[in-house]
Amino acid sequence: MWDRLHQLVLDELSNIDELDWARGCIDAVSVRSERGRADRPQPH
């Protein structure tokens, strides 16, 4: 539910020119890493 609501708010802000996608950034906390850190020791 929250993901959909978040998307609707972003879409609405974009539609009324209140959101500049050219200045956006990604919060690393919410972006999943596909492989993890390269320098992290592997579990045994």
Q: Are 14 and 21 in contact (CB under 8 A)?
A: yes
Place of tokens 């708010």: 9
The reported pTM is: 0.46
Q: Residue 8 has what pLDDT?
A: 92
Q: Residue 40 has what pLDDT?
A: 66
**Could you read off the pLDDT of 2-36 as tens digits, one per residue?**
889 999 998 898 899 888 878 777 666 666 666 66
Q: Tokens for 2?
A: 């929250």
Separation in Å, CA 16 to CA 9, 11, 20, 25, 34: 11, 9, 10, 20, 34
d(CA 42, CA 44): 7
DSSP secondary-structure letter at 40?
A: S
Q: Residue 10 has what pLDDT?
A: 87
Q: Residue 5 has what pLDDT?
A: 92
